[in-house]
Structure 1
Amino acid sequence: MDSQMYQSKDDKFIPMTSISSGKVREARSDVSYYTNQIVNVIFIGSAEGWVLVDAGMPKCGEEIRLVAEDIFGANAKPAAIILTHGHFDHVGGIVHLIEHWNVPVYAHPLEFPFLTGQQSYPEPDTSVEGGMLAKISSIYPNEPIDITPALRELPADGSIPHLQDWRWIHTPGHSPGQVALFRESDATLISADAFITVKQDSMYKVLVQKKEVCGPPVYLTTDWRAAYESVQKLAALNPQLVVPGHGTAMDGAELTEGLRRLVNEFETVAVPEHGKFVDKES
């Protein structure tokens, strides 16, 4: 693969962790997720054929590759990588993985400027209402990566290459081209950061992985109206199990009731009282 690919120019190790870091958990017989520090990397399929969803925190490429071999066997290689969006904690190992595996990477075209070196994300909002992880968010990388040679558009019909039973759903708000993945046959949802199951701005709750249905991370969500519409869209699917971008998998009544509350009380439980992305909408 082309050596001109690169991680962001502000790429650096972020010293954050949680009690779930380093754990692989099975959500379905063919869906496992690995918590890389504070973010989930998802493996869909079996040793006969599988796909990786997202690429973790900065400097984690080798770690993810070794986890894949633990799950699927020596020299395991996915058919493709799907990126739910391009924030630093979802693409941190992507260049290493592409160079090692030489596989295509699929994303929504609205994320392409951030994945082809053309445009930086807005800087994280340290002024937003929230906990310690929001206050120190200025340390998070926001400059673009460039994986142009490997990058492909997700099919416009909602299908996902190499995942016949799944479809992708556009869920903007947290980022312009964020997508979720859904399998109707068993109502399994990969929600990315459209909604998550840990309050991501709270250092304590992230550390102990306190389980609760929450809106998207406040310090990187730039369009709260779109974020609300995305939550509504996912709730309407009536998911029975979710594997989020952050937090632990959730199912049953806990998920149903938590998601209902998030939709009904989004303005008070998800949207911060102040912040530069909130204030521009008021």
Structure 2
Amino acid sequence: MDFTHENTFARDFIPPMTTITSGIGLEVLPDLFCLPIQIVNVCFVGDPKETNEFVLVDAGMPDCADVIMNAARERFGQNCKAKAIILTHGHFDHVGSLIELAEAWDVSVYAHRLEMPYVTGKENYPPADSTVDKGLIAKISPMFPNHGIDAGRWVQPLPADGTIHELSGWRWLHTGGHTPGHISLFRDKDRALIAGDAFVTVKQESLYKVITQKQEINGPPKYFTTDWEAARESVRHLDALKPSVAITGHGLPLVGEKLSYELHRLAEQFDEIAIPEKGRYLH
């Protein structure tokens, strides 16, 4: 196996950003572990008391493969085994270490069929829109990579029936808007939700709030969201599921009554809370 693959984002300029929670993992449920890496979260699904196997949801920032693999060994043991990597979508901060991890673990990578062009190198995402918010991250967002990556032989479309063989009890939901093929993951038995960027629990456009991780529910990151009608419907769909716990792509997890109240408020007031007053993708 060749481990000399050049990092897909090696030539990109990615402004150095992090949070006060970076590297501090949080066990949300016995089999659901959230690991913040700089400005984004990855999730490990699997109970280390029962198995050394796990599924990884999203692949973090560029050059973070070692951090993710070390976290897996710390949680599941030195002989741990990844069963699959599932992508909520293909933006740079969610696939930054994907190819390195797929090569090291030699596992299947799953993405929605509408996301496949962006993770097979065939298409690029629309560029970020700096006009959506006054926050510093929004202003510098055009510097973020928007190109697709080629995950090669590892990536394949998610099964059309909503199931995932390697993730028993969970189903994937198409929650488009932030990207065409964005998905979330939901487990009916305990109403656990991995939302990706369908909604987030931090104002992702503000550098100060990202660094401090001030918790406040918001729609998807504005600067990369291209279909606001679909984004609104996705949030309403997730609210209707009445999740008991939610891990989002950015920000701290939300649970219980606070999650129920805040997510319902977002669904009811999505236009006021989430949609920017101006922006190139509003229409």
TM-score, structure 1 length as denominator?
Answer: 0.95
Residues 171, 178 of structure 1: 8 Å contact kept: yes
Partner of 1:146: 150
Q: What RMSD, in angstroms, separates the aligned Cα atoms of the two structures?
A: 1.6
Q: 1:90-123: CA deviations, max 9, x gaps?
A: 0010111011111110110111111011111011
Aligned mates of 1:224, 1:191 — CA distance in 2: 17
**Structure 2 gaps, min length 5:** none
DSSP 3-state at the match of 2:17: coil
Residues 86, 111 of structure 1: 8 Å contact kept: yes
Aligned mates of 1:207, 1:189 — CA distance in 2: 24
Q: CA 1:10/1:122 → structure 2, altered by over 3 Å: closer, same or farther?
A: farther
- For residue 272 of structure 2, the aligned residue among 257, 268, 272 is 268
Task: Read off the aligned partner of 1:144 and give its amino acid letter.
Answer: G
Aligned mates of 2:219, 2:6 — CA distance in 1: 33
Task: Read off the aligned partner of 2:208 and give its amino acid letter.
Answer: Y
Q: 1:219-263: CA deviations, max 9, x gaps?
A: 000000000000011001000100110001111111111111111
Residues 7, 144 of structure 1: 8 Å contact kept: no
Residues 85, 177 of structure 1: 8 Å contact kept: yes
Q: CA 1:129/1:82 → structure 2, altered by over 3 Å: closer, same or farther?
A: same
Partner of 2:24: 23
- For residue 202 of structure 2, the aligned residue among 198, 201, 205 is 198
Partner of 1:156: 160
Partner of 1:181: 185
Matches within 5 A, 1:24-173: 24-47=25-48, 48=51, 49-173=53-177
Q: 1:36-63: CA deviations, max 9, x gaps?
A: 0010010001342210000001111111
Residues 84, 180 of structure 1: 8 Å contact kept: yes
Residues 133, 205 of structure 2: 8 Å contact kept: no
Residues 7, 63 of structure 2: 8 Å contact kept: no
Residues 223, 277 of structure 1: 8 Å contact kept: yes
Aligned mates of 2:7, 2:65 — CA distance in 1: 13
DSSP 3-state at the match of 1:20: coil
DSSP 3-state at the match of 1:199: coil
Aligned mates of 1:130, 1:78 — CA distance in 2: 40
Q: 1:164-196: CA deviations, max 9, x gaps?
A: 100000000000000000001111000000001
Aligned mates of 1:42, 1:225 — CA distance in 2: 27
Q: CA 1:64/1:58 → structure 2, altered by over 3 Å: closer, same or farther?
A: same
Residues 14, 143 of structure 2: 8 Å contact kept: no
Q: CA 1:5/1:204 → structure 2, altered by over 3 Å: closer, same or farther?
A: closer
Aligned mates of 1:12, 1:139 — CA distance in 2: 7
**Structure 1 gaps, min length 5:** none
Aligned mates of 1:143, 1:204 — CA distance in 2: 27
Partner of 1:217: 221
Aligned mates of 1:154, 1:263 — CA distance in 2: 27
Aligned mates of 1:19, 1:4 — CA distance in 2: 31
Identity across matched positions, percent: 49
